A and B are shown apart, each in its own frame.
Chain A
Amino acid sequence: MRKLTLGVCMAALLAAGAASAQETVKLGYIDPLSGGGASVGEGGLKTFNWIADEINAQGGLLGKKIEILPLDDKTNPQEAVVQAQKAIDAGARFITQGNGSSVAAALSDFVTKFNDRNPGKEVLFFNYAAVDDALTNDKCSFWHFRWDANSSIKMAAVTNYLKTQSSVKKVYLINQDYSFGQGVKKLAREMLKAKRPDVEIVGDELHPLLKITDFAPYIAKIKASGADSIITGNWGQDMALLLKAAADAGLQANWYTYYAGGAGGPTAIKQTGLAGKVHDIVEGDSNTAAEAAQKTEVEFRKKNNISIWYPRAFNEMRMFAKAVKEANSLDPKAVAAKLEGMTADVFDGGTGTMRKDDHQFFQDMYVRSFGPLTAGQKFDEENTGWGWTVKGKVLAADTNVPTTCKMERP
Chain B
Amino acid sequence: MLQLILFSTLNGVLYGMLLFMMASGLTLIFSMMGVLNFAHASFYMIGAYFGFEISRRIGFWPGFIIAPLLVGVVGALIERYGLRRVHKFGHVAELLFTFGLAFVIEELVNMFWGKLPVDYQVPPSLDFVAFTLFDTTYPAYRMFMLATAIAMFAFLIIVLKRTRVGLIIQAALTHPNMVAMLGHDVPTVFMMVFGVGAALAGLAGVIAGPALVTQPSMAALLGPILFVVIVVGGLGSLGGAFAASLLIGLVQTFAVAINGSLVDLIGPTANTIFGELGNVTLAQIAPLLPYLMLVLVLIFKPTGLFGNRET
Q: Name A's B-contacting residues (CB within 8 A).
A: 33-36, 38-39, 42, 177, 203, 205-208, 211, 213-214, 216-218, 220-221, 223-224, 237, 241, 248-251
Contacts and interface: CB of A to CB of B under 8 A. Distances in A.
Nearest to B254: A217
Contact of B4 (A211, A220, A241): A220
Contacts of A36: 215, 217
Contact of A211 (B115, B116, B221, B284): B221
A211 B15 CA distance: 15
A216 B217 CA distance: 20
Contacts of B12: 217
Interface stretch (B131-139, B164-172, B265-273): B131-139
11 contacts: A36-B215, A38-B117, A207-B283, A213-B212, A216-B7, A220-B11, A223-B4, A224-B1, A248-B142, A250-B132, A251-B136
B4 A214 contact: no
A224 B3 contact: yes
A213 B256 CA distance: 14
Q: Is the interface of A mostly helix, strand, loop or mixed?
A: helix
Given A205-B283, A214-B11, A217-B12, 12 more contacts: A34-B110, A34-B216, A38-B117, A213-B221, A216-B7, A217-B8, A220-B257, A223-B7, A223-B134, A224-B3, A237-B213, A250-B135
A164 B287 CA distance: 38
B126 interface: no
Interface string B118-155: 00000000000100101111110010000000000000
B253 interface: yes
Contacts of A217: 8, 11-12, 252-253, 256-257
Q: How many interface residues does chain B have, given as a range? A: 35 or more
B136 A34 contact: no
A220 B133 CA distance: 12
B292 interface: no
B256 A221 contact: yes
Contacts of B15: 214
B95 interface: no
Contacts of B252: 217
Contacts of B211: 214
A208 B216 contact: no
B212 A249 contact: no
B144 to A, nearest CB: 13
Contacts of A214: 11, 15, 211-212
B139 A218 contact: no
A282 B258 CA distance: 34
Contact of A250 (B1, B129, B212): B129
A35 B136 contact: no
Contacts of A207: 256, 283-284
Top 5 closest pairs, chain A to chain B, by CB: A250-B137, A224-B4, A220-B7, A213-B212, A34-B115
B41 interface: no
A237 B218 CA distance: 13
Given A216-B11, A250-B137, A35 B256 contact: no
A223 B115 contact: no
Contacts of A203: 259
Contacts of B11: 214, 216-217, 220
